[in-house]
């Protein structure tokens, strides 16, 4: 394939750190069917698919990466992903969402800067026990945060400014913590 760095089945306890991945025909960094993968301090830009792509991983950490100008999403998880930690990343100017979590179970998303993506800042689909804390979401073309068929367990200290549709969480069949149930949350 045209993917950059791939940690596949059997590559448990892998650390992918301080790489520059640019202008590839596929995904920038891929991790699938493994556990305890750490993707740290990489720069991924200009890829034809997602910047960082996770599928069916356990206890993965994605931290300190810069993902920009990729053709799809900056950081994406699909399949059954358990114990995902996504922190201190910068996702900017991607053509899809800054971050897309699908199938996440117990995901912690904190201190990320998600700016000027052409779709939503953070999209959460079919995920449970997602924690969103101290993220900055600015100038994304879609919603700041959208949740579909999910449960958001914690939502605190996030900064939302200048996003396209509204600076709110848009929730569709998604449960939210009590503190978020205010006029600023639109549910459907």
- Chain mean pLDDT for the chain: 92
d(CA 52, CA 102): 14
**pLDDT score of 183:** 43
| Digit-coded pLDDT (tens) for 29-47 | 999 998 899 999 999 999 9
Query: Pick from 134, 83, 142, 85: which is nearest to 113 by CA?
Result: 134
Q: What is the dihedral of CA 57, 63, 65, 71, to 10 degrees?
A: 40
| 187 has a pLDDT exceeding 80 | no
d(CA 27, CA 32): 12
The alpha carbon dihedral of 136, 90, 28, 5 has a sign of negative
**pLDDT score of 168:** 78
Q: Residue 165: pLDDT band by 50, 70, 90 thresholds?
A: confident
d(CA 46, CA 67): 9
Neighbours of 82 (CB within 10 A): 15
For 19-33, 82-96, 165-179, which range has the lowest pLDDT when averaged over its residues?
165-179
Long-range own/partner contacts, residues 163-170 (CB < 8 A, 24 or more apart): 163/121, 163/137, 163/138, 163/139, 164/140, 168/143, 168/144, 169/143, 169/144, 169/145, 170/143, 170/145, 170/146
**pLDDT score of 167:** 76
Q: Residue 140: pLDDT band by 50, 70, 90 thresholds?
A: very high
DSSP 172: E
| Digit-coded pLDDT (tens) for 77-120 | 999 999 999 999 999 999 999 999 999 999 999 999 999 999 99
Q: Residue 180: pLDDT band by 50, 70, 90 thresholds?
A: low
Determine the straight-line distance between the first and last CA of the chain, rounded to whole angstroms: 40
Q: Residue 182: pLDDT band by 50, 70, 90 thresholds?
A: very low
d(CA 187, CA 177): 13
pTM comes to 0.93
Q: What is the dihedral of CA 145, 73, 148, 111, to 10 degrees?
A: -40
Neighbours of 162 (CB within 10 A): 12
């Amino acid at each position: 394939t045209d993917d950059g760095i791939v940690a596949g089945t059997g590559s448990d306890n892998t650390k992918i750190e301080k790489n520059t991945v640019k202008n590839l025909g596929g995904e920038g960094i891929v991790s699938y069917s493994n556990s305890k993968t750490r993707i740290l301090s990489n720069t991924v830009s200009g890829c034809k698919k997602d910047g960082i792509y996770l599928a069916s991983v356990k206890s993965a950490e994605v931290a300190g990466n810069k993902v920009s100008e990729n053709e799809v999403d900056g950081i994406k998880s699909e399949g059954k992903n358990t114990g995902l930690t996504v922190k201190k990343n910068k996702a900017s100017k991607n053509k899809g969402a800054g971050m897309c979590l699908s199938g996440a179970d117990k995901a912690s998303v904190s201190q990320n800067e998600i700016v000027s993506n052409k779709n939503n800042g953070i999209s959460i689909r079919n995920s449970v026990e997602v924690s969103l804390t101290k993220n900055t979401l600015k100038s994304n073309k879609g919603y700041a945060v959208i949740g579909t068929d999910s449960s958001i367990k914690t939502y605190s200290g996030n900064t939302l400014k200048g996003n396209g549709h509204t600076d709110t969480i848009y929730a569709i069949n998604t449960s939210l913590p009590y503190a978020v149930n205010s006029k600023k949350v639109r549910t459907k």
